Amino acid sequence: MSKKENLYNDLKRQILTMELDPGISLDETRLGKKYTLSRTPVRDIFRRLAGEGFLNIEENRGAFVSPLTYKALRDFFLIAPPIYAVIANLAAQNRTPVQLLELKDTQTRFQSAIASAKPDQMAYYNNRFHLIMGQMADNQYLWPSLQRLLIDHGRIGHTFYRPRNQDMKQNLDTACLHHDQFIAAIESHDVETAEKLVHEHWKLSRDNIDMFVRPDPLDIKLGSVDKHT
What confidence tier does 211 reach under pLDDT thresholds 50, 70, 90?
Answer: low
Quick one: which H or E segment has residue 125? helix 119-137
Last residue of one domain, picked from the residues 16, 44, 65:
65
Structural domain including 134 reads 70-213
What distance in Å separates the CA atoms of residue 64 and residue 66, rounded to the nearest whole number?
A: 6
Q: Residues 3-57: pLDDT tens digits?
A: 999 999 999 989 988 899 999 999 999 999 999 999 999 999 999 999 999 999 9
Q: Residues 81-105: pLDDT tens digits?
A: 999 999 999 999 999 999 999 999 9
In this structure, the answer to whether residues 119 and 61 fall within a common structural domain is no
- Output the domain CATH number for residue 142: 1.20.120.530
Last residue of one domain, picked from the residues 27, 44, 65:
65
Tally of structural domains, the chain: 2
- 80-84 contacts at long range (C-beta below 8 A, 24 or more positions apart): 80/149, 80/153, 80/202, 81/198, 81/199, 81/202, 83/142, 83/145, 83/146, 83/149, 84/130, 84/149, 84/198, 84/201, 84/202
In this structure, the answer to whether residues 43 and 155 fall within a common structural domain is no
Give the lowest-confidence range in 30-44, 55-69, 205-219: 205-219
| Residue 224 domain flag | no
In this structure, the answer to whether residues 166 and 110 fall within a common structural domain is yes
| Residue 151 domain flag | yes
| Residue 225 domain flag | no
